[in-house]
Amino acid sequence: MSRPQPAAAATAAEPDAPVEPDAPVERFEDRGIVTLVLNRPASFNALSDEMLDALDAALEALADEPHLHALVIAAKGRAFCAGHDLKQMRALGDEDDYRALFTRCSRLMQRLQDFPVPVIARVQGLATAAGCQLVASCDMAVATSSARFAVSGINVGLFCSTPAVALSRTIAPKHAAEMLFSGEFIDAEQARDWGLINRVADDDALDATLETLLDNLRAKSQVALRTGKAMLGRQRSLPLGQAYAFASEVMAANMMAEDVAEGIDAFIAKRKPEWKHR
Which range (18-32, 94-108, 162-176, 226-240) has the least confidence? 18-32
| pLDDT in the model for residue 14 | 40
pLDDT at 152 over 60: yes
Q: How high does pLDDT run on average in the chain?
A: 90
Q: Rg for the chain (alpha carbons), in Å?
A: 19
CA dist., res. 96 & res. 111, Å (int): 22
Instruction: Name the percent of the chain in helix, strand, coil, to the closest 5.
Output: 50, 15, 35
Q: Does residue 20 register a pLDDT over 90? A: no
- φ and ψ at 145, to 5 degrees? -65, -20
The residue-averaged pLDDT of 39-63 equals: 95
- Name the pairing type of β-strands 25-30 and 33-38: antiparallel
What confidence score (pLDDT) does residue 87 get?
A: 87
**Residue ranges of domains in the chain, CATH in brackets:** 10-218 (3.90.226.10), 222-269 (1.10.12.10)
Write down the pLDDT at residue 86.
85
Phi-psi category of residue 113: left, alpha or beta, with phi > 0 → left and psi -120 to 50 → alpha: alpha
235 pLDDT higher than 60: yes
- What is the distance between the alpha carbons of residues 222 and 1, in angstroms, rounded to a whole number? 31
User: What is the per-residue pLDDT for 261?
Assistant: 87
> Please, which pLDDT band fits residue 11 given cuts at 50, 70 and 90?
very low
Amino acid 66: pLDDT: 87
In whole angstroms, give the CA distance from residue 167 to residue 175: 9
Question: Could you give the CA distance from residue 70 to residue 66 in angstroms, rounded to a whole number?
Answer: 11
Identify any residues that bridge with 9 across adjacent strands, giving them in sequence order.
Answer: none
- Identify the bridge partners of residue 119 per DSSP, sorted by sequence position: 71
Residue type, 207: D
Q: Are 83 and 166 spatial neighbours (Cβ–Cβ below 8 Å)?
A: no
Longest dimension (CA), the chain: 66
Q: Which amino acid appears at position 262 of this protein?
A: E
C-alpha of 47 from chain center: 15
Lowest mean pLDDT among 14-28, 109-123, 207-221, 235-249: 14-28
CB atoms within 10 A of CB 74: 26
CA-nearest of 230, 231, 106, 98 to 166 is 106
Hey, CA dihedral for 141, 41, 61, 132, is it positive or negative? positive
For the segment 136-159, the average pLDDT, to the nearest whole number, is: 96
163 has pLDDT over 90 = yes
Instruction: Tell the burial category of 103 from Cβ atoms under 10 Å away from its Cβ (0-12, 13-18, 19+).
Output: exposed
What's the confidence (pLDDT) of residue 12? 32
Q: If you average pLDDT over residues 89-105, what whole number do you get?
A: 89
Q: Is residue 122 pLDDT above 90, yes or no?
A: yes
Give the H or E element holding residue 104: helix 95-114
Q: How confident is the model at residue 275 (pLDDT cuts 50, 70, 90)?
A: confident
End-to-end CA distance of the chain: 31
Interval 56-62 mean pLDDT: 95
